[in-house]
Amino acid sequence: MDWFTADMLYALFLIVVIDLVLAGDNAIVIGMAARNLPKEQQKKAVIWGTVGAVIIRAIATIAVVWLLKIPGLLLAGGLFLIWIALKLLIEEKDHGAVKAGTSLAAAIRTIVIADAVMGIDNVLAVAGAAHGETWLVIVGLAISVPIMVWGSTMILKVLERYPVTMYIGAAVLAFTAAKMVVDEKFVKAWIGTGFLKWTIVALIVIGVMLAGNAITRARARRKAESEAESGREPSRAS
């Protein structure tokens, strides 16, 4: 097996980008779970909670890599990942349900469980980008996890300060999802590997970007109109 072909290096790049783009939620989970601990225990909770979460995520991702080889599941996973890419653009984050641990063990447990529940999108996206190669999953995690742990605050600041970064991440997810759809065996047999395949990929990515932008704008407009209405109510009452 050639480990350092252009396709493999590109797949590895996608995995690292996906991990980093979806690291924002993990950073919030880690911070909220450890916030009530003494300062000297917060670092331990972050490290051991992340280690536990990464081990579970690696096992889950490798399992999904294997499952995606079953006929039909690559298409199903791609369609679900398209929804995840759109949700990344339109979802209003709410992490209020993440409880802060009052002991080191409780904080670690919260981090691991919350990451497992919230990491489904990450697992599916990485598995789809890995093209059936387990070693890509492992190497991708080895590269991105240290960045996620020690750079999580910076990642959050970048995502908040530069919203375009979220669109880049969603585009990567949409591209990965589209590739999963067109690489399904019976779909590939119908559309081939040429112009039609890449046209469908491009349409999916563009469609996700346009839909996400339209929904976000519509939601912001409704919110502004609602605030304007509530602002006018007192004057009508008087």
Cβ atoms within 10 Å of 65's Cβ, excluding its own = 21
| Per-residue pLDDT band at 235 (split at 50, 70, 90) | very low
Give the tens place of pLDDT for each residue, 148-165. Answer: 666 555 655 666 677 777
Give the tens place of pLDDT for each residue, 5-51. Answer: 777 777 788 877 777 666 655 665 666 666 667 777 777 777 777 77
Q: Rounded to whole angstroms, how far apart are CA atoms 122 and 99?
A: 22
| Per-residue pLDDT band at 237 (split at 50, 70, 90) | very low
Q: Tell me the domain boundaries of the chain.
A: 6-232
Half-sphere exposure of 144 (CA within 13 A, CB side): 26
CB neighbour class for 188 (10 Å; exposed up to 12, middle 13-18, buried from 19)? middle
Answer for the pair 140, 12: CB distance below 8 angstroms, yes or no. yes
Instruction: Give yes or no for residue 208 having a pLDDT over 80.
Output: yes
Instruction: Give yes or no for residue 229 having a pLDDT over 60.
Output: yes
Mean pLDDT value across residues 170-179: 85
| Per-residue pLDDT band at 70 (split at 50, 70, 90) | confident
Vertex 145: Cα angle to 51 and 117 (nearest 5): 65
